[in-house]
Amino acid sequence: MPSVTKIIHFFLSALLTAISVGLLGFAMSDDWSRTTMDCRGFIINNGSAEITLGLFNGLLVRQTCPSFGNYKDFSVFTELSVIKGASLALHALCVALLVLCLLFSALSILISLYNSVSNPYQTYMGPIGVYTCSSISACLSLLVIILFVLNINVTDMQEQLVPQIGSIDTENLELSNKKSTMLVGYFMLIPYTVLSLGAILAIYLYDHAAYMHRREQEKPTEDAPKEIMMY
């Protein structure tokens, strides 16, 4: 049976990771970005288009672009599969990395709970397993943060989605002044990453304390009184 200290630290690690999984699940179901663009058509020269993107669903709002107001829900992967190219690849990569984040976080929870009720050896089922799984989750989430912003701001994904979803003649349409804003779903990756690192810290503090305790027990005899060492 593990000590009370070990139970507390590993259970805390499992709790932090479980909270991070809940945040990531919420993030994957919420909106990630909103982009607005000025729209110039062949007849009407002042309009706008606003496209809100989640990981799986989106919403296009057009104001005189080129026709009057129009709202249309769409499936992100369905529309991106028509465009193909870098936009689809980056978006699919982000989703795949987030799925891996969930997987490694789940493994981290299982290993932490296992250590809170047993005393496994220092293998992948011990602190090393938590370090590995939680650090991979944190690194992958940081990579998603970078890739998603690049896909939104560097590629022309939105400029291609607006005429495609709205069934607009691209020859009579000019989109300009693109402005993108990251939304709640995207920012939820930050606390997810922080909590994953917090789970690592909880295990590290226990591991370090246990190491120092072992060192104290294995203290060399040179610390003993000289009179005793003479015999």
Q: Which domains does the chain have, with CATH numbers?
A: 4-212 (1.20.140.150)
pLDDT value of residue 68: 64
How do residues 2-40 score in pLDDT, each as one tens digit?
788 888 999 999 999 999 999 999 999 999 999 998 887
How do residues 153-211 score in pLDDT, each as one tens digit?
998 888 888 887 766 655 667 777 889 999 999 999 999 999 999 999 999 988 877 76
From residue 32, give the alpha-carbon distance in Å to each of 29, 66, 148, 171, 193.
9, 26, 9, 30, 17
pTM score, whole prediction: 0.85
Residue 93 is which amino acid? L
How do residues 61-115 score in pLDDT, each as one tens digit?
888 776 666 788 999 999 999 888 889 999 999 999 999 999 999 999 999 999 8
